[in-house]
C-alpha cells in the first residue's frame, strides 16, 4: 500500500471513529427512500438481481439501498471501519452484502465482467491518476454496464465558502492537472465530532478533459452529466455560507457512463 492509500485508510478510520457524515449508515430506509438515494430517476433501470459494485462506497448507505432494491451488492473500500458499517446495515435489514477491502486502483479481487453497475460516490479525487481507476472499472464491468462516478468540480477545487471577499469567491489555485490540493473539511461533515484529531483531506485535481476523455478512451459512452445533485443552492442566504457558495458553482459533478467498447466513432 502506498503513501496515498495509507493516508486515506488512516483518515477514514478517524472519520468513522468520530461518526462523521459519510460514515453513518442509513438505517431507516424504505423501498421508496432507497430508490430516491441510488436510482431516483431510474437511471439504472430495474436493479433487482443486478450485480452492483459500490466502489469506494463503504459506510452502509448506498450498499443498503441497492440491496433493499433487490440487487446483489459488493462493497469495495479501503477502510475496514467503513466496511463494518456496510455489514451493520446488512444485518439491520437482514440482507446480504459482500464486502472487500482494497485500493480502488487495483480491482484484481474481481474477474473481468463481474458487474452490471459500478456506483462510485465521491472518492476519485483521492488518487492522482484517474485512469488507474477507470481502466479497472471498465475491466470489471460487463459490456452495456453502467458506471456512475461523482467527482470534484475541477474549476472549484481549493475554494471554500470562507473565500468570500465581499464580491465573490476567490480562486487562488492554478488549474493544474493532477495537482495535490489540501483543504479543511466542511463543517457539515462533522456534526460536533472532534475534528482536530482527523487528518485533512488530500485530493488531486482531475481536469475536466482528462475525466471525460479518460472515460471515452476507456470505452464509455456518456449518458448523463449532472451538476446539481445533493446541493441546495440559496442566493438569499448569507454570503460566505455553504448554501450561498454552492449557488455560485457546484462543488461536485457526476457522470453516468455506459461501457460500450464495441462502438467505434
Ligand X SMILES: C[S@@+](CC[C@H](N)C(=O)[O-])C[C@H]1O[C@@H](n2cnc3c(N)ncnc32)[C@H](O)[C@@H]1O
Applying CB under 6 A, the residues found at the interface with ligand X are 5, 8, 12, 22, 56-59, 61-62, 77-79, 82, 103-104, 121-123, 126-127
Q: Nearest distance from residue 233's CB to ligand X, in Å? A: 20
For ligand X, the closer of residues 65 and 215 by Cβ is: 65
Concatenated DSSP letters of 7-75: HHHHHHHHHHHTT-GGGS---S--HHHHHHHH-TT-TT---TT-EEEEET--SSSHHHHHHHTT-EEEE
The Cα 251–Cα 245 span in angstroms is: 9
Q: Nearest distance from residue 8's CB to ligand X, in Å? A: 4
For ligand X, the closer of residues 26 and 116 by Cβ is: 26
With a CB cutoff of 8 Å and minimum separation 6, the contacts of 79 are 8, 9, 12, 13, 16, 58, 101
Q: Nearest distance from residue 222's CB to ligand X, in Å? A: 22
Q: Nearest distance from residue 7's CB to ligand X, in Å? A: 9
Beta strands 72-77 and 97-101 are: parallel
Query: Are 146 and 219 contacting, i.e. CB atoms less than 8 angstroms apart?
Result: no
Q: Nearest distance from residue 97's CB to ligand X, in Å? A: 12
For ligand X, the closer of residues 103 and 116 by Cβ is: 103
C-alpha cell at position 155:
474549476
For ligand X, the closer of residues 89 and 211 by Cβ is: 89
Amino acid at each position: 500500500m502506498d503513501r496515498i492509500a495509507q493516508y486515506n485508510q488512516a483518515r477514514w478510520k478517524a472519520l468513522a471513529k468520530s461518526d462523521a457524515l459519510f460514515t453513518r449508515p442509513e438505517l431507516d430506509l424504505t423501498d421508496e427512500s432507497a430508490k430516491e438515494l441510488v436510482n431516483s430517476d431510474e437511471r439504472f433501470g430495474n436493479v433487482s438481481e443486478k450485480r452492483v459494485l459500490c466502489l469506494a462506497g463503504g459506510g452502509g448507505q448506498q450498499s443498503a439501498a441497492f440491496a433493499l432494491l433487490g440487487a446483489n451488492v459488493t462493497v469495495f473500500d479501503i477502510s475496514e471501519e467503513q466496511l463494518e458499517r456496510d455489514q451493520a446495515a446488512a444485518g439491520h435489514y437482514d440482507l446480504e452484502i459482500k464486502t472487500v477491502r482494497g485500493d480502488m486502483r487495483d480491482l484484481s479481487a474481481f474477474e473481468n465482467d463481474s458487474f452490471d453497475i459500478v456506483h462510485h460516490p465521491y472518492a476519485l479525487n483521492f488518487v492522482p491518476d484517474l485512469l488507474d481507476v477507470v481502466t479497472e472499472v471498465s475491466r470489471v464491468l460487463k459490456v452495456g454496464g453502467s458506471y456512475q462516478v461523482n467527482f470534484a468540480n475541477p474549476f472549484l477545487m481549493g475554494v471554500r465558502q470562507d473565500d468570500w471577499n465581499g464580491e465573490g469567491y476567490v480562486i487562488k489555485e492554478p488549474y493544474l492537472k493532477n495537482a495535490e490540493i489540501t483543504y479543511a473539511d466542511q463543517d457539515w461533515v462533522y456534526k460536533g465530532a472532534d475534528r482536530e484529531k482527523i487528518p485533512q483531506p488530500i485530493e488531486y485535481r482531475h481536469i475536466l478533459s482528462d475525466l471525460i476523455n479518460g472515460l471515452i478512451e476507456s470505452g464509455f459512452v456518456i449518458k448523463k452529466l449532472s451538476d446539481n445533485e445533493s446541493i441546495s443552492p440559496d442566493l438569499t442566504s448569507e454570503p460566505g455560507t455553504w448554501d450561498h457558495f454552492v449557488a455560485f458553482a457546484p462543488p461536485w459533478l457526476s457522470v453516468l457512463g455506459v461501457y460500450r467498447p464495441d462502438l467505434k466513432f
